[in-house]
Amino acid sequence: MGSKALFFFLALLSLSLVCLTPAFAQDEETDAKPAGLVMNFYKDSCPQAEDIITEQVKLLYKRHKNTAFSWLRNIFHDCAVQKSCDASLLLDSTRRSLSEKETDRSFGLRNFRYLDTIKEAVERECPGVVSCADILVLSGRDGIVALGGPHIPLKTGRRDGRKSRAEILEQYLPDHNESMSVVLERFASIGIDTPGVVALLGSHSVGRTHCVKLVHRLYPEVDPALNPNHVEHMLHKCPDSIPDPNAVQYVRNDRGTPMVLDNNYYRNILDNKGLLIVDHQLATDKRTKPYVKKMAKSQDYFFKEFGRAITILSENNPLTGTQGEIRQQCNVANKHH
């Protein structure tokens, strides 16, 4: 993905001035030096921002449990792409550009409207101050907690991008059928090492996989690598060799604790119950298997590496300082006259 971004931390006074600057855009491709990310970036400009986001996540999760899966997945899809963590994922399609949300790599992403709900709550308190990019990352952080995962302290100060990067997604986001070498290389390019990759894929402990993404392991013949005791359940959930992508046909990633982010995923894939090719490879590749075994034995170790990897991912080359803008609505770039 190119060289790692260099983050320069400004003095407290300068940060305050940046926070209070109106949300006018500057082309994110300029050479303006980024101000950098810091803890509690909004402590002066919007002291209640993080509390509002956390409270909204709790309320929305109470009503719609599957929102937490979406928030967690959003971090990966927004932050692993060039000029990342800029909420470009949230932009709707226009006449000139396709939304990242509508690409094959983003298949199954949903619940974006709930990010709009959080944005509206924050805007009522502090209009034009808090970026959609920070809301995306912090809702992911709080979604992890809602799922029983660790609280991960994350920095803020991201700015919002103005354009979709749909045309380059496949260069950065590994697919579920990629080789383990490709997966490791893609993550290494943003500073995430092998145990970090193994931990991030532990996100497959929660949520579900649509039949579209796994029928190739069932039809025309069952993948012999699959645990026979698990195949019956998969065939029951995915009875069609060509499933309707719009139909509600899916298999829970973890039948034991489907709503809990835990290390049961690693025990499952060691038992050949991983749904995706990447899950199977993770448990069998000599580079990753030792970490899979270690995480299967220790949830503390899993959480430690998961928190470290999420932190690196969330700080991957964001727009900061005077770059980008603070969107008024997360699904559209601001209009400038």
Is the separation of the CB atoms in 254 and 148 below 8 Å? Answer: no
Burial of residue 3, with CB atoms counted within 10 A of its CB: 0-12 exposed, 13-18 middle, 19 or more buried: exposed
108: left (phi over 0), alpha (psi -120 to 50) or beta: left
Task: List, as own/partner pairs, every contact residues 243-251 make where C-beta atoms lie below 8 angstroms and the sequence separation is at least 24, other chains included.
Answer: 243/210, 243/211, 243/212, 243/215, 245/107, 245/210, 245/212, 249/210, 249/211, 249/212, 250/208, 250/209, 250/210, 250/211, 251/208, 251/209, 251/211, 251/214, 251/275
Phi, psi of 4 (to 5 degrees): -70, 145
Neighbours of 33 (CB within 10 A): 14
Confirm whether residue 88 is marked as ligand binding: yes
Three-class SS of residue 27? coil
Which residues are part of the catalytic machinery?
77
SS3 252: strand
CA distance 213 to 275: 9
Among the listed residues 136, 137, 119, the one whose alpha carbon sits nearest the alpha carbon of residue 128:
119
Q: Are 301 and 309 in contact (CB under 8 A)?
A: no
Is residue 182 annotated as involved in ligand binding? Answer: no
Task: Note whether 215 and 238 are within 8 A (CB).
Answer: yes
Spatial separation of the C-alpha atoms in residues 276 and 267, rounded to whole Å: 15
Q: Is 100 annotated as a binding residue?
A: yes
Distances (CA, A) of 108 to 160, 240, 289: 23, 18, 28
Q: What is the CA radius of gyration of the chain?
A: 20
Per the annotation, does 311 bind a ligand?
A: no
Q: Is 78 annotated as a binding residue?
A: yes
51 is in an annotated binding site: no
Query: Is 262 annotated as ligand-binding?
Result: yes
User: What's the CA gap between 273 and 276, in Å, rounded?
Assistant: 9
- Type of residue at 95: R
Is there a binding annotation on residue 300? no
Known binding positions for Ca(2+): 78, 81, 86, 88, 100, 254, 257, 262
Known binding positions: 78, 81, 86, 88, 100, 174, 204, 254, 257, 262
Known binding positions for heme b: 204
Known binding positions for substrate: 174
